[in-house]
Structure 1
Amino acid sequence: MRHYEDESKRSRRSIGVDLAVDALEIAPRVDAIFLFSGDGDFRVLVETVQRLGVRVTVVSSTRTTPAMASDELRRQADAFLELATLRKSIERQTRRPG
């Protein structure tokens, strides 16, 4: 979220645009991109970087209600990783008092 300190004190979300620009900038220099999102709005971005020769793996979840990953995005991706299957590998280990 970007904050603008002007007379209207408005805020504007632009992370999706920033992510898309970054992906398009790095696409000529990478073989694969992992997209941690299930937002179907990214389907066109995935298709575009695939045309540039980049393999795209979407990491999201279909186990939530409603599913976080859109069907269109999952179908467009070269691979889909269910986020829940990564839980033990990526979750923070908490120390037990003792």
Structure 2
Amino acid sequence: MFYKDERLALFIDGSNLYSTAKALGFDIDYKLLRQEFMRRGKLLRAFYYTALVESEEYSPIRPLVDWLHYNGYSMVTKPAKEYTDSQGRRKVKGNMDIELTVDAMELAPRMDHMVLFSGDGDFKPLVESMQRQGVRVSIVSTIRSQPPMIADELRRQADNFIDLDDLKEVIGRPPREQQSDRELRVANASE
């Protein structure tokens, strides 16, 4: 699936990957993720895309964004749009599909293998375009959640599909709540 001399780039749809990992019951260790793909080929870039809510004083994603930025990821962010739906509920929208697509198209002549961490079917035309340019495309998502987190048409278009669940042992760690509970038990046991 991967060749050591292959130039590869990671394109991570942050909110989609987060939802997929949550559906599978684990958190991503981004340091391990980057190391895993550096091992698989010549990693050109690891892009991470996310929208940020600017109006909030503290954003729960801000520490992750800062950590990724300082640890080798190319961060692509934009302010999320806030609106009120017809039932009066506050909603946040922050689609990063265009930014990811533009970056992939610009990098296409210099990469051999694109690894897209998203199950969003809107990326099917991008995958087709990359393949026409001679770039192999691997999609990382899951079919093991209910419902599956990947659009069937995207999975079928990819040269290679990697189920995130298969990477769990390599790049995963237990969700934070479980870690906190375990740390609390350890702390209580030592008292």
Query: TM-score range, shorter-chain basis?
Result: 0.7 to 0.9
Question: What's 2:124 paired with?
Answer: 43
TM norm structure 2: 0.45
Query: Counterpart of 1:75 in 2: which secondary structure?
Result: helix
* Structure 1 stretches lacking a partner, 5+ long: none
Q: CA deviation at 1:92?
A: 3.2
Distance 1:23 1:62 in 2: 24
Which shows bigger deviation, 88-97 or 28-37?
88-97
**Count of aligned pairs:** 94
| Higher mean C-alpha deviation, range 83-92 or range 10-19 | 10-19
Structure 1 residues 92 and 3: alpha-carbon distance in aligned structure 2, compared to 1, 3 A threshold: closer
For residues 166 and 52 of structure 2, what CA distance do their matches in structure 1 show?
32
C-alpha separation in 2, matches of 1:59 and 1:76: 13
Please give the TM-score of this superposition, normalised by the length of structure 1: 0.84
User: Which residue number in structure 1 is paired with residue 138 of structure 2?
Assistant: 57
Deviation by residue 1:32-63 (Cα, 9 ceiling, x = unmatched): 00000011000000000110100000000001
Pairwise CA distance, 1:4: 7.6
Larger Rg: 2
Q: Say which SS state the counterpart of residue 67 (structure 1) adopts.
A: coil
Give the aligned residue type for 1:16: D
Compare the two structures and name the one with the higher strand fraction.
2
Task: Select the structure with the greater relative contact order (CA < 8 A; seq sep ≥ 6).
Answer: 2
Q: CA RMSD in A?
A: 2.3
Once residues 52 and 154 of structure 2 are traced to their aligned partners in structure 1, the CA distance between those partners, rounded to angstroms, is 26
Query: Is 1:66 aligned to residue 147 of structure 2?
Result: yes
Q: Alignment partner for residue 108 of structure 2, among 13, 27, 44? A: 27
Q: Give me the identity figure in percent.
A: 48
Query: Structure 2: how far apart are the matches of 1:19 and 1:60?
Result: 16
CA distance in 2, matches of 1:3, 1:85: 32
The farther-off stretch of 63-72 and 88-97 is 88-97
Gap change, CA 1:72 and 1:91, over 3 Å in 2: same
Deviation at 1:15, TM superposition (A): 1.2
The answer to whether residue 96 in structure 2 is matched with residue 15 in structure 1 is: yes
